[in-house]
Amino acid sequence: MTFSWSRLGAWVVAFVVGAFYGVAGTVAQAYMIGWFPLGLVLGLIGVIALLVAVRLLTGDRWATLATALGVMIATLVFSGAGPGGSVVVPQAPEGQFNPGVVWTILVPLAAVVVIAWPEVRSRTAPPAEPVG
């Protein structure tokens, strides 16, 4: 693998897009409709779809890793208390379901699965011999 500025640029763009998805998912993961964690489910679907799309469209594990790092770093940054003391990912009361913990665990697991998935090489058929 040789260095190229275009690959580095793609990794930076992938990181920024991942960070955007990470912020959106971190903010949305706490939304629940009754007992169903709708924000968590939609956030995970979005992040997994993003990781799979980057992997398939670029064919580059490094770009997918940059995307995953963007998501995870954004989650880490926005999970703590802000300067004013506000918390985006609050701790659930004892014994209740905590979508923030599930979000924090499933995003890296999804990234590992997508990045480690074996490459699928398309097999081309041998050229047909001319008739006649």
pLDDT for the residue 119: 81
Residue by residue, pLDDT tens for the chain (132 residues) are 677 899 999 999 999 999 999 999 999 998 999 999 999 999 999 999 999 999 999 988 999 999 999 999 999 998 877 777 777 777 778 888 888 889 999 999 999 999 999 886 666 666 667 776
Tokens matching residue 32:
């629940």
pTM: 0.84
Identify the pLDDT of residue 91: 77
pLDDT at 123 (0 to 100): 63
In this prediction, residue 25 carries a pLDDT of 94
Map out the domains of the chain as residue ranges: 5-81+97-116
Query: Which two tokens mark 82?
Result: 């802000």
pLDDT of residue 128: 67
Task: Give me the pLDDT at residue 126, please.
Answer: 66
